[in-house]
């Protein structure tokens, strides 16, 4: 990497640099060239000097250097080569042939500068600045060794080039080896311009900004621990309820004469920010009077229930399980318990009103808790026991109760261990850096010399002190033992918010960046020419909340496109291919305190020639709000066109996987130079829980036959997704395999595969166009009110193009077209409006054209893009307004049997946005209403593309509930009265989202597609400026102990 690596210097130890000027250093002096023959103390004329070496690394002639500064060419010596030695004959350098490439010149300015003969280095002190190839390095002291061509800097070290920024306390960088080291590092990396900014042979992406002082961290008050007590005891009281389980959430039922009293004990096992994993045990007594049946008693009719009754009874019940708790507010939480329930006697109610009953059943508890103080709270719980879909003795339903409880929390967590990451110190030059420790010698001779000269003997490194707990911090004590209070914690939060608002962020022009990938699959299974994002983006206008799920994306637990990162480390070591560090942190949030950042151990960072940044580590944690840590993949590739994700996949697929499943993405396997194979084994959680599968036709039966219930085999519990991406014959090739069972009898109906090859080509009059070849087996498509359709086989080719037109006033337009030819095998669609179970195989030629338009009718006031302004909860400003969105589209399709289907659609509707999403409650509402009308000539013989929803209405709503908590949902309906599918859903989506500026945590589900999951979205931002360090800084952990590194 040579001199180009100077743009990303790393940090480390080197020889100690004295702050006093050496004897040969002259005030307000400048030297051109570092020639040993310069007499000691000889003055020069300027405070700005140009330091240079010959092409072979020799120092320049002093006289020549003074008349015309000798430049420093880019080094070409291999890493590890012997450093060049200045020749004794001073005329040798002048006789060397001229270099072939334009040389680079290093200009140095400082309060004092000159050549120090004692250390044989060119030295500049006091506001020292070095400019090389459009980059600027500033420090309190700079030294350049002309023999080894090594640059040293110490004190307020800052480097800018283009949009890249780096600062630290100390820097050593060898121009020949392309290696170095740096300490107390903080920097900004912009991948969009990194290739040009980090190469001195290219011009930087933008001119140098005005110099700024070094960025220093701000000490913020500790985050209070709102829930310091791990133990709790609960007194329960309640009454049993006539209903099925699902109806208890809506109150559809009646109370029955059976009282419940008891007590419970809970123990918190794991605490992760607003989430906790708990043990839950309860002992309950039941006192039941004689009772008659009601309307909510399982499979019996009203007349049958009227003749049923049970006698009085009393018995005991014991429950135990694992609980998950989520604190929505410091005083409000939701809890879920999964476990078992044991009755001392068989319940008369369950034995009479259920088909089967048993003493030992599954237990579920759903509760809401409101805290009065850190110790006392009121709890409401839905108490449910049943057979878990027949898992326990074939029992299906059981009994339900509503419980109210008084809970007392007690105990304390063990003192937390000091976080090694918290020992990051401010860089030299920061006022809050604190006292410097004595320099530690690097060798035994240096230690002896230090003692002989009157210095102190080196001391062993000390462990940092243990930080105070959040509860103690809220009380302003260090373990005083006083009980925390909500009032003190609220004061602590207010102080922290005020301190954060006072931070000088040193950034401007913050804007959200979008990923550069234009087309991705929306359906389960990935992309091909059958259905792509264009079909959603350019189809009939509909609320954005209703648009189909790109399930391959939504099943990822962590995702986001990141191109602009801040990073921080105590020490990094620069290599020709990147840098490494024992521990480093990265943040996608431009502001401090950062809402999301990644903490990693044993980090190695390399950058590919195409700009991709590959980060590998032994441990990665994604930290949200400095409270919640989520383990993520130890290998992360951050690129402009790929989303960052972790390896765990949590999802719901009702069609192929019978509901909930979990997957694990394995480390990609390299295929050739540029190809990768990704494997994702899966385990079917809900299928294993139920013991049966309902996803496949009867083995040996018709492939299009109805799904039947089958008992699981071992192979039915496992699945696999595989993705191969590689260049092939000049095309970008993508092959996908989706297996939902390994049962040999079901694998044919449990396998889906698809692939495509595409490339951009230039056509006359058209310009850049995407050409695509595609093929698929059992590809899944959702077609409006017809629901899921399977394309059993398909292959063909297409051409397509989409482009955004110039704005016309407040009107924006974007168009898309596609022409294609393919052979398809799928279910026949009958003229009666229903699909047949018979398969048809026909050629299909089609042409599609679509125009999207958006007209802004009203636009309100926008809040400033600050952490406590427009960007408090949202990654981009929410602006009140009214917009009209429309879509015009035409589709011509002709089939091999002579049939055809031609359609013209017009659709549109308004989107109303109210609020700024800045206040704590109901400050953001976005309502979209759309309507669509389609004219059709002919009818497709296939169910997957038959136009049956000729009249549609869609409604979408996004609503802030409290703080960052959002509801997002929508629905589409067929309103064509002549359609046999009148009133059927054309789409639906429900999402509960925790929305923050830099990330979003959401739980989502589409009843229409049967797909759902949990995900974390990481947002990307563009901004100008350096920002300030984001890793939490605690001065009490930054003493003179283990966090310190040896100086140069």
What confidence tens digit (pLDDT) does each residue in 737-746 have? Answer: 999 999 999 9
Q: Strands 1011-1018, 999-1006: parallel, antiparallel or unpaired by DSSP?
A: antiparallel
Using alpha carbons only, what angle is made at residue 549 by residues 543 and 555, rounded to the nearest 5 degrees? 145
Q: What is the DSSP letter of 494?
A: H
Banded model confidence at residue 316, pLDDT cuts 50, 70, 90: very high
Mean pLDDT value of segment 614-637: 77
The pLDDT, as a whole number, for residue 969 is: 92
The pLDDT, as a whole number, for residue 541 is: 56
Q: Give the chain's count of helices (H) and strands (E).
A: 11, 49
The pLDDT, as a whole number, for residue 302 is: 59
The pLDDT, as a whole number, for residue 888 is: 95
Q: Highest-confidence range of 197-201, 239-243, 560-564, by mean pLDDT? A: 239-243
Banded model confidence at residue 417, pLDDT cuts 50, 70, 90: low
List, in order of start, the domains of the chain with CATH numbers: 2-183 (no CATH), 231-410 (2.40.160.20), 564-641 (no CATH), 808-1020 (no CATH)
Banded model confidence at residue 568, pLDDT cuts 50, 70, 90: very high
The pLDDT, as a whole number, for residue 535 is: 47
Report how far residue 479's alpha carbon sits from residue 574's, in angstroms, rounded to the nearest whole number. 42
Residue 866 sits at φ, ψ, to 5 deg, of -125, 165
pLDDT of residue 516 exceeding 60, the answer is no
Neighbours of 705 (CB within 10 A): 12
Banded model confidence at residue 563, pLDDT cuts 50, 70, 90: confident
Query: Please, is 99 exposed, middle or buried when counting C-beta atoms within 10 Å of its C-beta (0-12, 13-18, 19+)?
Result: middle
The sign of the torsion formed by the CA atoms of 52, 56, 57, 59 equals: negative
Using alpha carbons only, what angle is made at residue 787 by residues 783 and 789, rounded to the nearest 5 degrees? 70
pLDDT of residue 20 exceeding 70, the answer is no
Closest by alpha carbon to 12, among 580, 821, 399, 808?
Answer: 580
| Tens-place pLDDT, residues 454-484 | 444 444 444 444 444 443 444 444 344 456 7
- Higher pLDDT among residues 93 and 1003, named by residue: 1003
Banded model confidence at residue 39, pLDDT cuts 50, 70, 90: very low
Mean pLDDT value of segment 1029-1042: 66
Q: What is the DSSP letter of 1008?
A: T
Decide: helix, strand or coil at residue 303: helix
| Tens-place pLDDT, residues 872-888 | 999 999 999 999 999 99
The pLDDT, as a whole number, for residue 607 is: 72
pLDDT of residue 841 exceeding 90, the answer is yes
Report how far residue 989's alpha carbon sits from residue 998's, in angstroms, rounded to the nearest whole number. 23
Tokens of 218: 């701000």
* Residue 690, H or E segment: helix 685-690
Q: Highest-confidence range of 197-206, 304-313, 408-417, 922-931, by mean pLDDT? A: 922-931
Using alpha carbons only, what angle is made at residue 1013 by residues 531 and 599, rounded to the nearest 5 degrees? 110
Q: Mean pLDDT, the chain, as a whole number?
A: 79
The pLDDT, as a whole number, for residue 425 is: 86
Banded model confidence at residue 307, pLDDT cuts 50, 70, 90: low
- Higher pLDDT among residues 332 and 629, named by residue: 332
Using alpha carbons only, what angle is made at residue 377 by residues 372 and 380, rounded to the nearest 5 degrees? 130
The pLDDT, as a whole number, for residue 421 is: 52
CB 557 within 8 A of CB 545: no
pLDDT of residue 533 exceeding 60, the answer is no
Q: Which percentage of the chain shows pLDDT scores above 70?
A: 75
- Higher pLDDT among residues 562 and 976, named by residue: 976
Decide: helix, strand or coil at residue 46: coil
The pLDDT, as a whole number, for residue 660 is: 87
Report how far residue 254's alpha carbon sits from residue 292's, in angstroms, rounded to the nearest whole number. 12
Banded model confidence at residue 1035, pLDDT cuts 50, 70, 90: confident
pLDDT of residue 540 exceeding 60, the answer is no
Q: How far is CA 189 from CA 186, 590, 622, 1026, in A?
A: 10, 11, 18, 10
Report how far residue 80's alpha carbon sits from residue 177's, in angstroms, rounded to the nearest whole number. 6
pLDDT of residue 797 exceeding 90, the answer is yes
pLDDT of residue 157 exceeding 90, the answer is yes
β-pair partners for 566: 188, 587
The pLDDT, as a whole number, for residue 214 is: 94
The pLDDT, as a whole number, for residue 475 is: 42
Closest by alpha carbon to 716, among 690, 691, 743?
Answer: 743
The pLDDT, as a whole number, for residue 201 is: 80
- Higher pLDDT among residues 43 and 227, named by residue: 227
pLDDT of residue 372 exceeding 70, the answer is yes
pLDDT of residue 638 exceeding 70, the answer is no
Mean pLDDT value of segment 396-417: 87
Banded model confidence at residue 635, pLDDT cuts 50, 70, 90: low
The pLDDT, as a whole number, for residue 269 is: 92
Provide the Cα torsion 90, 93, 96, 99; round to 10°. Answer: -170
Q: Highest-confidence range of 456-460, 557-561, 826-830, by mean pLDDT? A: 826-830
The pLDDT, as a whole number, for residue 31 is: 35
Banded model confidence at residue 981, pLDDT cuts 50, 70, 90: confident
Ordered DSSP codes for 311-331: --EEEEEEEEEEEEEEEEETT
Banded model confidence at residue 1005, pLDDT cuts 50, 70, 90: confident
Tell me how far apart the terminal alpha carbons of the chain are, to the nearest angstrom: 23
Report how far residue 439's alpha carbon sits from residue 1040's, in angstroms, rounded to the nearest whole number. 11
| Tens-place pLDDT, residues 99-155 | 333 345 678 889 999 888 888 888 999 999 988 788 999 999 999 888 888 989 999
Residue 399 sits at φ, ψ, to 5 deg, of -145, 160
pTM of the model: 0.71
- Higher pLDDT among residues 146 and 847, named by residue: 847
Q: Highest-confidence range of 278-282, 663-667, 824-828, 946-950, by mean pLDDT? A: 278-282
Mean pLDDT value of segment 18-30: 35
Mean pLDDT value of segment 1005-1024: 83
The pLDDT, as a whole number, for residue 657 is: 92
Mean pLDDT value of segment 883-902: 95
Lowest mean pLDDT among 200-204, 567-571, 966-970: 200-204
- Higher pLDDT among residues 13 and 549, named by residue: 549
The pLDDT, as a whole number, for residue 275 is: 86
């Amino acid at each position: 990497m040579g001199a180009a690596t100077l743009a990303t210097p790393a940090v480390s130890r080197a020889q100690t640099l004295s702050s006093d000027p050496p004897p040969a250093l002259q005030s307000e002096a400048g030297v051109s060239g570092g020639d040993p023959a310069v007499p000691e103390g000889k003055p020069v004329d300027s405070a700005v000097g140009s330091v240079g070496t010959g092409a072979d690394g020799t120092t320049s002639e002093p006289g020549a250097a003074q008349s015309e500064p000798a430049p420093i060419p880019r080094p070409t010596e291999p890493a590890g080569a012997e450093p060049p030695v200045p020749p004794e004959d001073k005329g040798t350098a002048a006789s060397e042939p001229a270099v072939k490439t334009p040389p680079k010149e290093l200009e140095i300015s400082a309060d004092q500068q000159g050549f120090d003969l004692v250390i044989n280095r060119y030295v500049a002190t006091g506001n020292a600045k070095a400019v090389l190839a459009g980059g600027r390095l500033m420090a309190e002291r700079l030294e350049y060794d002309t023999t080894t061509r090594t640059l040293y800097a110490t004190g307020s070290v800052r480097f800018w080039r283009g949009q890249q920024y780096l600062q630290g306390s100390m820097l050593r960088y060898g121009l020949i080896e392309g290696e170095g080291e740096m300490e107390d590092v903080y920097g900004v990396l912009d991948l969009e311009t990194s290739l040009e900014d980090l190469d001195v042979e290219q011009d930087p992406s933008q001119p140098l900004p005005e110099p700024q002082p070094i960025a220093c961290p701000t000490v913020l008050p500790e985050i209070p621990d709102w829930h310091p007590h791990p133990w709790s005891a609960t007194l329960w009281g309640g009454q049993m309820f006539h209903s099925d389980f699902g109806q208890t959430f809506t109150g559809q039922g009646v109370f029955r004469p059976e009282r419940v009293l008891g007590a419970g004990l809970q123990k918190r096992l794991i605490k992760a920010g607003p989430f906790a994993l708990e043990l839950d045990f309860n002992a309950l007594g039941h006192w039941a009077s004689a009772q008659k049946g009601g309307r909510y008693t399982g499979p019996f009719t009203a007349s049958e229930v009227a003749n049923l009754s049970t006698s009085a009874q009393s018995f005991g019940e014991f429950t135990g399980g694992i609980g998950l708790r989520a604190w929505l507010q410091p005083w409000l939480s939701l809890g879920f318990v999964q476990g078992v329930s044991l009755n001392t006697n068989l319940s008369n109610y369950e034995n009479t009103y259920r088909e089967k009953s048993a003493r030992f059943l599954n237990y579920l508890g759903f509760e809401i808790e409101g805290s009065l103080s850190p110790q006392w709270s009121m709890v409401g719980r839905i108490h449910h026991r049943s057979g878990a879909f027949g898992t326990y003795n074939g029992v299906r339903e059981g009994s339900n109760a509503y419980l109210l409880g008084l809970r007392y929390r007690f105990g304390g967590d063990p003192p937390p261990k000091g976080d090694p990451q918290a020992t990051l110190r401010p860089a030299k030059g920061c006022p809050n850096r604190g006292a410097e420790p004595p320099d530690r010698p690097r060798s035994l001779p240096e230690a002896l010399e230090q003692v002989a000269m009157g210095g102190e003997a080196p001391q062993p490194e000390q462990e940092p002190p243990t930080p105070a707990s959040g509860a103690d911090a809220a009380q302003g004590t260090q373990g005083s033992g006083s009980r925390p209070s909500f009032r003190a914690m609220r004061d602590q939060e207010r102080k922290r918010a005020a301190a954060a608002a006072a931070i000088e962020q040193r950034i401007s022009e913050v804007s959200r960046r979008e990923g550069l990938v234009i087309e991705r699959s929306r359906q389960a299974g990935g992309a091909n020419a059958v259905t792509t994002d264009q079909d959603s983006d350019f189809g009939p206008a509909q609320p954005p909340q209703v648009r189909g799920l790109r399930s391959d994306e939504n099943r990822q637990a962590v995702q986001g496109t990141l191109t602009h990162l801040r990073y921080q480390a105590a020490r990094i070591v620069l290599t020709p291919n990147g840098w490494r560090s024992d521990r480093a942190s990265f943040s996608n949030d431009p502001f401090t305190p950062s809402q999301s950042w990644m903490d990693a151990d044993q980090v190695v960072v390399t950058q590919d020639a195409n700009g991709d940044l590959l980060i590998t580590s032994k441990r990665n944690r994604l930290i949200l709000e400095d409270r919640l840590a989520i383990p993520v993949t130890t290998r992360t590739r951050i690129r402009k066109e790929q989303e960052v994700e972790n390896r765990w996949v949590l999802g719901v697929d009702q069609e192929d996987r019978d509901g909930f499943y979990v997957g694990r993405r394995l480390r990609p396997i390299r295929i050739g130079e540029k190809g990768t194979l990704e494997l994702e084994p899966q385990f079917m959680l809900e299928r294993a829980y139920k013991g049966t599968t309902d996803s496949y036709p009867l083995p040996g039966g018709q492939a299009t036959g109805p799904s039947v219930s089958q008992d699981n085999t071992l192979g039915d519990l496992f699945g696999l997704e595989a993705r191969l991406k590689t260049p092939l014959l000049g095309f970008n090739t993508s092959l996908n395999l989706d297996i939902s069972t390994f049962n040999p009898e079901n694998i044919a109906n449990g396998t889906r595969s698809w692939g495509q090859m595409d490339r951009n080509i230039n056509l006359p009059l058209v310009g850049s166009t995407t050409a695509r070849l595609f093929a698929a087996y059992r590809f899944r498509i959702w077609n409006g009110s017809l629901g899921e359709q399977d394309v059993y086989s398909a292959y063909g080719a297409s051409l397509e193009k989409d482009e955004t037109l110039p704005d016309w006033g407040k009107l924006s337009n974007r168009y898309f077209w596609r022409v294609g030819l393919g052979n398809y095998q799928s279910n026949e669609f009958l003229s009666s409006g229903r699909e047949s179970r018979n398969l048809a195989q026909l050629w299909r030629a089609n042409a599609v054209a679509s125009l999207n338009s958006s007209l802004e009718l009203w636009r309100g006031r926008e809040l400033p893009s600050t952490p406590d302004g427009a960007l408090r909860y949202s990654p981009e400003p929410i602006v009140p307004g009214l917009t009209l969105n429309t879509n015009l589209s035409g589709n011509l399709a002709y089939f091999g049997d002579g049939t055809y289907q031609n359609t013209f659609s017009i659709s549109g509707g308004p989107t109303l946005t109210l609020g700024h999403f800045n206040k704590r409650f109901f400050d953001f509402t976005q309502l979209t209403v759309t309507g669509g009308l389609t004219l059709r000539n002919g009818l497709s013989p296939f169910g997957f593309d038959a136009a049956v929803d000729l009249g549609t209405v869609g409604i979408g709503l996004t609503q802030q509930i409290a703080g960052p908590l959002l509801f997002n949902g929508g629905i589409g309906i067929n309103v064509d009265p002549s359609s046999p599918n009148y009133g059927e859903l054309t789409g639906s989506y429900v999402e509960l989202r925790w929305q923050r500026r830099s990330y979003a945590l959401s739980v989502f589900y589409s009843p229409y597609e049967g797909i759902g999951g949990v995900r974390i979205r990481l947002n990307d931002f563009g901004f100008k400026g350096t920002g300030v360090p984001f890793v939490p800084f605690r001065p009490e952990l930054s003493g003179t102990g283990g966090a310190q590194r040896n100086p140069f």
